[in-house]
Amino acid sequence: MAKVAWVFPGQGSQAIGMGVDLAVLPLGQERLAAAEEILGWSVLDIVQSADDKVSNTLYTQPCLYVVESILVDLLKAQGHQPDVVAGHSLGEYVALYAAGVFDFATGLALVQRRAELMAQASDGMMAALLGFDAEALAAKIEATPGVVLANDNNPGQVVISGTPEAVTAVMDGVKAKRAVKLNVSGAFHSPLMADAAAQFAQALEPVHFSVAQVPVLSNVDPTPTTDGAVLKQRLVQQMTGSVRWREITLALPELGIDRVIEVGPGNVLTGLTKRTCRDLALVNVGNLDQVNGLAV
Look up 208 and say whether it is catalytic: no
Q: Where are the alpha helices (DSSP H) in the chain?
A: 26-39, 43-47, 57-77, 91-98, 104-119, 134-142, 164-173, 194-204, 228-238, 245-254, 268-276, 288-292
For residue 88, indicate whether it is catalytic. Answer: no
Could you say which of 13, 69, 89, 190 is catalytic? Answer: 89
* Distant-in-sequence, close-in-space partners of 169: CB < 8 Å, separation ≥ 6: 140, 144, 147
Q: Of the candidates 68, 31, 72, which has an alpha carbon nearest to the alpha carbon of residue 213? A: 72
Catalytic one of 80, 88, 189, 218: 189
Distance from C-alpha of 153 to C-alpha of 248, rounded to nearest angstrom: 9
Instruction: Give the Cα separation of 97 and 141 in Å (integer).
Output: 35
Annotated catalytic residues are: 89, 189
